[in-house]
Structure 1
Amino acid sequence: MNDDVPQEITSLVGREVYSKNGVFVGQVEDLRLDLDAESVTGLALASLNDDLFAGRAAGARGVILPYRWVRAVGDVIIVNDVVERMKTEEGEEAPA
């Protein structure tokens, strides 16, 4: 496969998402698009890592991660570790 050939955005659906530290985040279920700018603005994730999102997305079907967090797309999608830092101990301030 030629890397210069653009992939269909639908090829992202179903891929697993991991933090850059190797922590499973979830699986891409859908994409958020900006039709005017013709760009992907977010990844809608389902099959979430319950430990990672406990207390933040309890009972939710999924979450949307900003596409700007994506660092690499291949067989899996790698995102910044900011998603890991969202989980804080009670009483700690969430990172800015």
Structure 2
Amino acid sequence: MAHIFRWENANMITKLSKVFGKEVYTTSGARVGRVVDVNIDVNTRSVSDIFISNLDSAFQKKQGIEDKKGIIYSYSGIRNIQDIVLVSDMKPLISESVDESAAPEEPASEAY
């Protein structure tokens, strides 16, 4: 039997597949990047982090991570998922930045 993971945060329930490719913005309106992967705790069947790639150059400069391809962001900082992923302001919540050799490849974009 296949399990379908669902994204749950307070009153927010979203199918995991709907999160991939979404743009990520902070609550102050700054573009961060795009969701390309998630980490799932298989014991609790819950999302622990999201991997954000395609980082905005202004965001990278502000955070001092110009040489990084992506960041791993804690699930606890996600505020809402609708047309975009809305997260708390980034500085205190960046758990790890990832260089190009360790980053997962970005999925192919779909034509609209």
TM-score bracket for this pair, using the shorter chain length: 0.7 to 0.9
Q: Offset at 1:85? A: 6.1
- Using the alignment, how far apart are the partners of 2:59 and 2:92 within structure 1? 9
Does the CA contact (< 8 Å) of 2:14 and 2:81 recur in 1? no
Structure 2 unmatched runs, 5+: 1-12, 94-112
Unpaired segments ≥5 residues, structure 1? 1-5, 87-96
1:36 aligned residue (36, 39, 43): 43
Give the alignment's Cα RMSD to 1 decimal: 2.1
1:57 paired with 2:65, answer: yes
SS state at 2:18 partner: helix
Distance 2:23 2:91 in 1: 16
Q: Distance in 1 between matches of 2:91 and 2:58?
A: 10
What is the aligned partner in structure 2 of residue 91 from structure 1? none
User: Quick one: percent identity of the two aligned structures?
Assistant: 25
Kept in 2, the 8 Å contact 1:19–1:84? The answer is no
Q: Which moved more, 1:51-60 or 1:67-76?
A: 51-60
Q: Tell me the SS of whatever aligns to 1:36.
A: coil
1:19 to 9, 14, 26: 26
Aligned residues: 81
- Alpha-carbon distance, 1:79 to partner: 0.4
TM-score normalized by structure 1? 0.73
CA contact (8 A) 1:52 1:84 kept: no
Q: CA deviation digits over 1:1-50, x for unaligned, max 9? A: xxxxx532021000000001111011000101111110011110111012
Aligned in 2, Cα 1:11/1:58: closer, same or farther, shift over 3 Å? same
Structure 1 ranges of 4+ moved more than 3 A: none
Match of 1:79 among 79, 84, 87: 87
